[in-house]
Chain A
Amino acid sequence: ETGVTQSPTHLIKTRGQQVTLRCSSQSGHNTVSWYQQALGQGPQFIFQYYREEENGRGNFPPRFSGLQFPNYSSELNVNALELDDSALYLCASSFRVGSGSYNEQFFGPGTRLTVL
């Protein structure tokens, strides 16, 4: 059973550009969440996808968007990059049966994005 993987490991972009980060969920998982971790801070919830639909969103602007594919891999897209977008982006996958039951998240190693 493979764990959660993310690509690329590191990425450097300039202000105003667009970026796509990728996440491959753990086998059998149908839910993926994305988090932004700025330097020296805790991860901040961006959004969650369940069965290819957005299922909750944190306080992030619309230029942060995502996709979840039928094979449950996922993308995080950020448009019009700003300097403050520089951070470690983490994805976490879980298997959700329904509401009311706890579903442990498994985190990937993250993508380090630097915006110059």
Chain B
Amino acid sequence: AQSVTQLGSHVSVSEGALVLLRCNYSSSVPPYLFWYVQYPNQGLQLLLKYTSAATLVKGINGFEAEFKKSETSFHLTKPSAHMSDAAEYFCAVSEDTGGFKTIFGAGTRLFVKA
């Protein structure tokens, strides 16, 4: 069965500092992995996705994530935080079971300090 664990419900960084949001997954088959961002009172926006191609995935807004099968991890990073990055971030895993049921983590709230 699929599951996602996001380490840290809240992460606070200074503007310009490295952003690191942690995600570990469990999947019985090669998974598809995603990071989504959600701004207040809005839906989900896809940041990036891993679909069994390159293990280092680059997304929008300068974010990237690395798929590490041995560690079952898919951590999200950004070299330099911007105030506009403050939002809720969700890691998700999806398996092809005829359809794609997507399981989300509980989310990590990113705070960016000036």
Contacts and interface: CB of A to CB of B under 8 A. Distances in A.
Given A33-B102, A43-B90, A43-B104, A90 B43 contact: yes
A41 B107 contact: yes
A115 to B, nearest CB: 19
A110 B41 CA distance: 9
A63 to B, nearest CB: 20
B98 A104 contact: no
Interface in A39-69: 40-45, 48, 50, 55-56, 58
Given A42-B107, A43-B44, A43-B90, A105 B101 contact: no
B106 interface: yes
B26 to A, nearest CB: 15
Grouping DSSP codes into helix (H, G, I), strand (E, B) and loop, the B interface class, with mixed when no group exceeds half, is: strand
Contacts of A55: 98-99
Interface residues of A, number: 30
Interface residues of B, number: 24
Interface in B75-95: 90, 92
A101 B96 CA distance: 8
B97 interface: yes
Contacts of B99: 31, 33, 48, 50, 55-56, 96
A109 B42 contact: yes
Interface in B35-56: 36, 42-46, 49, 51
Closest 3 CB pairs of A and B: A42-B104, A55-B99, A107-B44
Interface of A: 4, 31, 33, 35, 40-45, 48, 50, 55-56, 58, 90, 92, 94, 96, 99-105, 107-110
